[in-house]
Structure 1
Amino acid sequence: MTAPIRWGIASTGKISSSMATALGTIDDAEIVAVGSRSQAQADEFAARFDIPHAHGSYDALWADDDVDVVYIGSPHSEHRSMTVAALEAGRHVLCEKAFARNAAEADEMIAAAERNDRFLMEAMWSWFMPSWHELKRRIHGGAIGDVVTVDASFCLAIADPNGRHRRADLAGGALLDLGIYPLSIGRFLLGEPADVQRDVRALATLTDEGVDGTLAGVMRHDSGALTTFRTSLDGLSDLAARIVGTTGTITVDAPFWFPTRFTITRSADGDTEVVDVPNRGLAHEAEHVMERIRGGHRQSDIQTWSATRANMALMDEIRRQVGVVYPGE
């Protein structure tokens, strides 16, 4: 019988709760510890998910030798320091997206994984969705000819001025939390732009706090295809994505970052094909992490370190163009 992979959860917010729920559906995953800045919050989370060890500090979680791999679900501003500390303590790490505030921090995190011979991956769960892989297979198989454009929008109405999304000190703004998804579907399907300074253009409206409240732009891929992306904290979009090709179109149902259905429409006759592909949410990326760790690997072969580096460099350039700088950068 395969020994379980033992997980620790760092931070007790909404995304950590979602990950704990997902891990509970995986037979050979075991959550053995949770860490928080507050003992009371750690205790509450541990009681809710039946976790044996509740730590009132992150240092105590890193030091827990019962933990094989840590999931980090803290705000973006804390990712670098928490990831490096966990890796230095000998833990493998799955760090929530956006991986860091910037590419320089991402490089520090990857260097720490290499130095300590530990597994490290950005938790970009969409890249593990069965629907995205089926979508890519269909497109590369010529289902809609050559791709001309990919268009995606992720806009939510998030009004709380004190929430993490609107706080510059927590690396808030629409781009790192929401806009990363419209960028990612284009990158997943078509690859990285060759030169972000040449091939990416963005505009934004900044909030009084200095983060991007609404942002939109366009990215050109090596094939010549364009990804158009929009994101906002100030309104709700339809949360779908559309791929236009020379012989047809594909509409990806909302929410496009973890869809269960997409529709192919062929231009010549208007015929449509509805493709249903169920998913299990965050469980797919967690299972991938466990498989890679068991195989002795130090990075993913899907969400590679080079893909993460490219993503951070892309968002750095977009922030440079729109004028968003986080405290401490």
Structure 2
Amino acid sequence: MSTQVRWGILGYARIARLSAIPAILRAGNAELSAIASRDAAKLAECATQFPLARLHMTYDALLADPDVDAIYVPLPNSQHRDWTIAALEAGKHVLCEKPIALTARQARDMGAAAKHADRLLMEAFMYRYTDRIRQVRTVLASGELGVIRHVNASFRFFLDRENTIKEQAGLGGGALYDVGCYPINLLGLITEKLPVRCQAYAEMKGGVDVNLSALLQYGDGMIANLHCGFNAHPFMHAEVIGTQGRLEIRDTFTDAAGELYVYTTTGTRSIAVAESDRYGAEFRDFSAAILEGRTPLLTLEESIRNMEVLDMIRESLP
């Protein structure tokens, strides 16, 4: 059995160049096999930066490459469904950037294609591979917070680059798709269920949401509120409040070292968080799942549920 998964990169996007490809190179059980780009200038850069990778001028050529086992999809959100399904039908495993699709229906289509092709498909929520989230899971599992009654979660940054796909409605832009999907995924990790009602409000610019807040209520009465945006000062924070305590999660979705804080009636304690390699761990786990024939860390059921909540939020906007 091979000990290396041969990766192809479907589009030389910024996140592929800066995060995914370096992660593949240090994963240990993965190798960079090929890169596809429709941009000749980008391919020239690839040839210089990654001389051992084969270069393809079309996406179809990459999918037809027999020396590629798995495809990483960093394309605009609007293209995730079609190219992921095409890759699966070509016999490739797929790691697709978040959000996995634009709607839950699209995500279900992708899941069905993965099942039919007998290939793995995972949404690339790299933050799930950090020591911070491991420690969060430990606190939640301990029960020391009591019954969870409220969750606050925010992910906001200031977008200082012009003409990005984040601002283009036709490509699936907007803050909810770009960063709001993270707090929603965290809510899914905590609750493991769907809300029963939702109300959201957004500030729109050029057809996309640049500032959005949503209030969600669950069947047991628990309430969660989330905020996302890219038109104001950065803020990344979450808190989980139960009947017996409160968990504060600073820098929620990063892999930086830091601390969690637990507040209970007996006092306050901090939990050290180690620096992590979230992208490296993500590619290492997904590659291992391919090699071992197992399910990776993040399941398709979670990703579909995430999209169902995104659907609810979009549909509730005035």
If the length of structure 2 is used for normalisation, what is the TM-score? 0.92
Paired with 1:133 and 1:60, the residues of 2 have a C-alpha distance of 39
Q: Quick check: 303-312 or 271-280, which moved more?
A: 271-280
Matched residue, 1:199: 197
Matched residue, 2:285: 288
Instruction: Tell me if structure 1 keeps the 8 A contact 2:24–2:280.
Output: yes
- SS for the counterpart of 2:235 is coil
Matched residue, 2:257: 260
Paired with 1:116 and 1:222, the residues of 2 have a C-alpha distance of 36
- SS for the counterpart of 1:215 is strand
- SS for the counterpart of 2:67 is coil
Matched residue, 1:146: 147
Offset, 1:223: 4.7
Q: How does 1:27-46 map to 2 (within 5 A)?
A: 27-46=28-47
Matched residue, 1:248: 245
Offset, 1:284: 1.7
Paired with 1:91 and 1:181, the residues of 2 have a C-alpha distance of 26
Paired with 1:289 and 1:5, the residues of 2 have a C-alpha distance of 9
Q: Deviations 1:51-94 (Å, cap 9, x if unpaired)?
A: 42011111111111110000001110111111111111111111
Matched residue, 1:5: 5
Q: Does 1:306 align with 2:301?
A: yes
Instruction: Tell me if structure 1 keeps the 8 A contact 2:3–2:291.
Output: no
Matched residue, 2:217: 220
Q: Deviations 1:149-185 (Å, cap 9, x if unpaired)?
A: 2211111122555211110011100001110111111
Paired with 2:40 and 2:64, the residues of 1 have a C-alpha distance of 16
Tell me the number of residue pairs that the alignment of Structure 1 and Structure 2 aligns. 317
Residue type of the alignment partner of 1:105 = Q
Residue type of the alignment partner of 2:99 = A
Paired with 2:154 and 2:52, the residues of 1 have a C-alpha distance of 37
Paired with 2:267 and 2:38, the residues of 1 have a C-alpha distance of 56
Q: How does 1:102-113 map to 2 (within 5 A)?
A: 102-113=103-114
Instruction: Tell me if structure 1 keeps the 8 A contact 2:153–2:183.
Output: yes
Unaligned runs of 5+ in 1: 324-329
Offset, 1:280: 0.7
- SS for the counterpart of 1:188 is helix
Q: How does 1:12-91 map to 2 (within 5 A)?
A: 12-17=12-17, 18-91=19-92
Matched residue, 2:317: 322
Matched residue, 1:127: 128
Q: 1:143 to 1:42 in 2, by over 3 A?
A: farther
Instruction: Tell me if structure 1 keeps the 8 A contact 2:131–2:273.
Output: no
Paired with 2:283 and 2:228, the residues of 1 have a C-alpha distance of 27
Residue type of the alignment partner of 2:305 = A
- SS for the counterpart of 1:126 is helix
Offset, 1:318: 1.0
Q: Deviations 1:263-316 (Å, cap 9, x if unpaired)?
A: 23333243322322331121122122112111224x53x321211111111111
Instruction: Tell me if structure 2 keeps the 8 A contact 1:5–1:68.
Output: yes
Offset, 1:46: 4.0
Q: Quick check: 78-87 or 222-231, which moved more?
A: 222-231
Matched residue, 2:227: 230
Paired with 2:29 and 2:292, the residues of 1 have a C-alpha distance of 15
Instruction: Tell me if structure 2 keeps the 8 A contact 1:260–1:279.
Output: yes
Paired with 1:51 and 1:74, the residues of 2 have a C-alpha distance of 23
- SS for the counterpart of 1:98 is coil
If the length of structure 1 is used for normalisation, what is the TM-score? 0.89
Residue type of the alignment partner of 1:291 = A
Unaligned runs of 5+ in 2: none
Paired with 1:303 and 1:260, the residues of 2 have a C-alpha distance of 23
Residue type of the alignment partner of 1:131 = R
Residue type of the alignment partner of 1:3 = T
What RMSD in Å do the two structures reach over aligned CA positions?
A: 2.0
Instruction: Tell me if structure 1 keeps the 8 A contact 2:255–2:275.
Output: no
Instruction: Tell me if structure 1 keeps the 8 A contact 2:188–2:302.
Output: no
